[in-house]
Structure 1
Amino acid sequence: METSPQTGLKRQERNTFLLLAVVLFPVLAVMFVASYGFIVWFWQMFVSGPPGH
């Protein structure tokens, strides 16, 4: 059974999609949320103080 260039291209597209969908986007989402949390934390620590009453 020979593999045509079209089959190789489809396999590459599938692998790229899986890399993006399973690895890259979740990691970027976690990094974005964590960085936002650190920004808020630093802001409260150094600028505005803890939440008041």
Structure 2
Amino acid sequence: MRGTSPTAEKHDGGRRSELLTFLFTVFLLIPGLAVGFVGAFGLAIWLIQIIYGPPGPPAA
């Protein structure tokens, strides 16, 4: 391996690992968490409405 040093090889492997981590975070983790949070919020609203009834004017 002419012209490469152990630190250069480590740097290339670290760069690839960092890129894969970034892509995983941007395309899988963040959208997955967003869908999970919105779904959990919707479920909480739905359960509250089952218990207390839908929003609207007070019953006469």
TM-score, normalised to structure 2, is 0.77
Quote how far apart the aligned CAs of 1:52 are: 2.0
Structure 2 alignment gaps of length 5 or more:
none
Q: Kindly, what percent of the aligned residue pairs are identical?
A: 40
Letter in 2 for 1:22: F
| C-alpha RMSD of matched pairs (Å) | 1.7
CA distance in 1, matches of 2:28, 2:56: 40
Structure ID, larger Rg: 2
Runs ≥4 residues deviating over 3 A: none
User: How many residues are treated as equivalent by the alignment?
Assistant: 52
- Compare the two structures and name the one with the higher helix fraction: 1
Match of 2:53 in 1: 49
Structure 1 alignment gaps of length 5 or more:
none
Among residues 30, 39, 43, which one is paired with 1:34 in the alignment? 39
Larger RCO (CA under 8 A, 6+ residues apart): 1
SS in 1 for 2:54: coil
TM-score, normalised to structure 1, is 0.86
Letter in 1 for 2:18: E
Match of 1:13 in 2: 18
